[in-house]
Amino acid sequence: MKFCPSISALLFSTPLQAETGGGVADSCCAALSASSVGHQVVYPHHEAFVESVVSYYSHSVRLSPTCIVQPESVKDVSAAVLTLVQEGGSLSSCKFAVRSGGHTIWAGAANIEDGVTIDLSKMNSTTYNPENKTASIYTGARWASVYKALEKDKVTVAGGRGGPVGVGGFLLGGGNSFHSARVGFACDNVINYQVVLASGAIVDANRNTNPDLFKALKGGSINFGIVTRFDMKTMPYEGIWGGVVTYDWSTAYKQIPAFVRFTDNIHKDPYASLITMWWYDSKTDTNSVVNALHYTKPVPYPAAYDEFKQFSNTSDGVRIDSQYNLVEELSQPGDSRNVFVTGTHVNNAEIIRKCAELHEQVIEEAKKYAKSKSWTIVIVVQPWPKLFTERGSENGGNVLGLERFDENLIQTLYDYWWDDEADDELFHRLARSIHQQVDGYAKMINVDNEFVYLNYADKSQDPLKGYGEENVKYIRHVANKYDPHGVFQYQVPGGFKVSNVN
Ligand SMILES: Cc1cc2nc3c(=O)[nH]c(=O)nc-3n(C[C@H](O)[C@H](O)[C@H](O)COP(=O)(O)OP(=O)(O)OC[C@H]3O[C@@H](n4cnc5c(N)ncnc54)[C@H](O)[C@@H]3O)c2cc1C
Ligand SMILES: *[C@@H]1O[C@H](CO)[C@@H](O)[C@H](O)[C@H]1NC(C)=O
Ligand SMILES: *[C@@H]1O[C@H](CO)[C@@H](O)[C@H](O)[C@H]1NC(C)=O
Ligand SMILES: *[C@@H]1O[C@H](CO)[C@@H](O)[C@H](O)[C@H]1NC(C)=O
């Protein structure tokens, strides 16, 4: 603890300890309250504080910081950062966190206890610039609101597929969208970032200005600064055909070869996208297959999905609709306790079958021990073809490191949720264990892959390491250059840090 006596004397007319116990974080909050953003600082007794805490997607991550600051402009963000990173180190022990949509599934990624959360959710506007066909999207926006804002101009962007998912975290971790086979990862469609650095400086990062930072932000997450605005390429858009189709579990194994061929053939029709979910719901004691089909043109039943027609479905919600309505439909119910664990494998039927078998075993295991009234065990299996990466390379590249791999890949996400805290240990253990078993099997049959998708990764995983040594070195270099004192490594402990890569 090193306070600068002059600042303390200035800020606290009553002794430091009087109100809240006098921890370091209290003096950081007091410094913020005394700064130009003082009116944007909220404390536990404020309604806005409680609203912010409960607006995190998962119950498991609703931490209570010492105070929350809710900036409304890039200048406010800069002022907040400057206050928290006082020159000369007087308040440099102020720990803080950065939050956009709050959809990370592990506690402490986008918030903090005994510290300050910078909650960017008030900076949530989306503007279309017809002159250059770009959209300026503030980091606190949710994807549904972005699509709504762009719809009237008949354009859209490659963004999230769940309506309430936040813009900031999603774009900084890559971003898989309905459009990825045509335009790459969502981050590959960012043409300019507005960033607040640890020095408080407000800079742009694009192909010409700070190009190293520009590239590093495409996958490098919270290692360099706070992005306040993303300028994205838009594309013309007239609607999407798609929706959610549900099938009996008896079709699950038969669908696997169709999924593998779909993934290998996306290049034949890159308007097509597919998410396969195996979904067990304890309330109905049923396991089902849920396919989300989304074709990014208003064309019904395109040939890309022909192979799936042979499986008789139990419900079918496909239609031509807006991206806005379709992502609202895909919003998973929040308000529960959650875990995400993720793996990457070569697109291969045998590994997917193994996953399905283990999924059935996990359900039986959970039935024995779960105390929750209601719990859900989902595996999300998604194509991650080479094509996604090739499109990104055309836009200048990113730091995901996927061009190292020659095969089409798949992404597995073990996505469990439940309502009783007493089951936290159980479901975390089950999710981590199935992942380890699948990964072990993948190694055995030579379809393993070291990539770990940051946006789906559990705290126990090391996604930056999975970008490959060269990219880790690059991220480290860029982090050192733009944040020489390591503010975003040490003062901002949340999220995946390059300084923690093993
Ligand atoms: C229901 C659901 C659906 C999802 N759907 C998809 C999907 O379709 N495709 C996909 O690829 N992913 C998806 N995800 C994963 C999603 O991309 C991540 O959860 C992502 O982190 C969400 O962004 P956020 O802004 O809400 O995150 P937050 O939790 O607010 O932040 C995530 C991380 O980024 C940092 N961060 C946030 N904003 C900034 C900023 N402005 N500057 C610097 N650092 C920042 C935070 O400190 C934190 O470490 C989904 C997740 C859920 C729960
Ligand atoms: C932006 O956030 C405010 C709350 O802070 C909310 O009232 C408003 O609807 C949001 N705007 C958009 C476009 O989502
Ligand atoms: C696009 O146009 C807007 C509005 O004129 C401008 O602010 C922005 O800088 C332009 N972006 C690019 C990449 O040219
Ligand atoms: C779902 O089943 C119905 C009735 O058999 C069929 O008409 C429809 O095409 C199926 N939907 C999909 C997306 O395959």
Shortest-distance atom of ligand 3 to CA 192: 13
Ligand 3 atom 3: the closest Cα is on which residue?
129
Cβ–Cβ under 8 Å, residues 158 and 177: yes
Cα 308-313-318 angle, rounded to 5 deg = 75
**What are the residues whose beta carbons fall under 8 Å from the beta carbon of 15, sequence distance 6 or more?**
22
Tell me if 117 CB under 6 Å of ligand 1. Answer: no
pLDDT-derived band at 13, boundaries 50, 70, 90: very low
Tell me if 150 CB under 6 Å of ligand 1. Answer: no
pLDDT-derived band at 3, boundaries 50, 70, 90: very low
pLDDT score, position 12: 34
Ligand 3 atom 12: the closest Cα is on which residue?
132
Report CA(78)–ligand 2 centroid distance (Å). Answer: 21
Mean pLDDT of 448-454: 98
Report CA(129)–ligand 3 centroid distance (Å). Answer: 7
Number of Cβ within a 10 Å radius of residue 298: 15
DSSP 134-170: EEEEETT-BHHHHHHHHHTTTEE-S--SSTT-BHHHH
Cβ–Cβ under 8 Å, residues 189 and 196: no
> What whole-number distance in Å separates Cα of residue 367 and Cα of residue 361?
10
Ligand 4 atom 9: the closest Cα is on which residue?
309
pLDDT-derived band at 16, boundaries 50, 70, 90: very low
Instruction: Please tell me the number of the ligand nearest to residue 58's CA.
Output: 1
Range list of β-strands (E), 425-477: 448-449
pLDDT-derived band at 332, boundaries 50, 70, 90: confident
pLDDT-derived band at 396, boundaries 50, 70, 90: confident
> What whole-number distance in Å separates Cα of residue 203 and Cα of residue 195?
5
Report CA(135)–ligand 3 centroid distance (Å). Answer: 9
- Give me 293's structure tokens: 């089909």
> What whole-number distance in Å separates Cα of residue 27 and Cα of residue 258?
59
> What whole-number distance in Å separates Cα of residue 102 and Cα of residue 460?
19
Q: Classify 432 as helix, strand or coil.
A: helix
- Give me 459's structure tokens: 């705290």
pLDDT score, position 90: 60
Mean pLDDT of 247-268: 98
Report CA(242)–ligand 4 centroid distance (Å). Answer: 12
- Give me 50's structure tokens: 């409680």
Q: Which fold has domain 126-236+465-483?
A: 3.30.465
- Mean of pLDDT over the chain: 93
Cβ–Cβ under 8 Å, residues 480 and 470: no
Shortest-distance atom of ligand 2 to CA 142: 14
CATH number for the domain whose boundaries are 5-119: 3.30.43.10
Report CA(246)–ligand 4 centroid distance (Å). Answer: 10
Mean pLDDT of 257-272: 98
- Give me 292's structure tokens: 């989300």
List ligand 2's pocket residues with C-beta within 6 A: 121-122, 124, 145
DSSP 300: S
> What whole-number distance in Å separates Cα of residue 246 and Cα of residue 257?
18
Instruction: Please tell me the number of the ligand nearest to residue 255's CA.
Output: 4
Report CA(143)–ligand 3 centroid distance (Å). Answer: 21
Among 20-29, 180-189, 282-291, 425-434, whose mean pLDDT is lowest? 20-29
Query: Could you tell me which residues are beta bridge partners of residue 337?
Result: 418
Residue entry with tokens 């490191």: 401
pLDDT for 488 beyond 80: yes
Tell me if 318 CB under 6 Å of ligand 4. Answer: yes
Report CA(309)–ligand 4 centroid distance (Å). Answer: 6
Residue pLDDT, tens place only, 400-429: 999 999 999 999 999 999 999 999 999 999
- Is residue 131 packed enough to be buried (19+ CB in 10 Å), middle (13-18) or exposed (0-12)? exposed
Residue pLDDT, tens place only, 60-69: 999 999 999 9
User: Which class would CATH give 240-456?
Assistant: alpha beta
Number of Cβ within a 10 Å radius of residue 21: 10
Instruction: Read off the pTM.
Output: 0.95
> What whole-number distance in Å separates Cα of residue 117 and Cα of residue 99?
7
Ligand 2 atom 2: the closest Cα is on which residue?
122
> What whole-number distance in Å separates Cα of residue 17 and Cα of residue 25?
12
Report CA(493)–ligand 1 centroid distance (Å). Answer: 16
Ligand 3 atom 10: the closest Cα is on which residue?
132
Tell me if 194 CB under 6 Å of ligand 3. Answer: no
Instruction: Please tell me the number of the ligand nearest to residue 138's CA.
Output: 1
Cβ–Cβ under 8 Å, residues 331 and 163: yes
Tell me if 11 CB under 6 Å of ligand 3. Answer: no
> What whole-number distance in Å separates Cα of residue 381 and Cα of residue 412?
5
Instruction: Please tell me the number of the ligand nearest to residue 232's CA.
Output: 3
pLDDT-derived band at 286, boundaries 50, 70, 90: very high
> What whole-number distance in Å separates Cα of residue 435 and Cα of residue 415?
11
Tell me if 177 CB under 6 Å of ligand 3. Answer: no
Shortest-distance atom of ligand 1 to CA 172: 34
Mean pLDDT of 311-334: 92
Ligand 2 atom 10: the closest Cα is on which residue?
124
pLDDT score, position 87: 53
**What are the residues whose beta carbons fall under 8 Å from the beta carbon of 169, sequence distance 6 or more?**
100, 101, 103, 104, 110, 221, 455
> What whole-number distance in Å separates Cα of residue 418 and Cα of residue 63?
18
pLDDT score, position 22: 59
Domain extents for the chain?
5-119, 126-236+465-483, 240-456
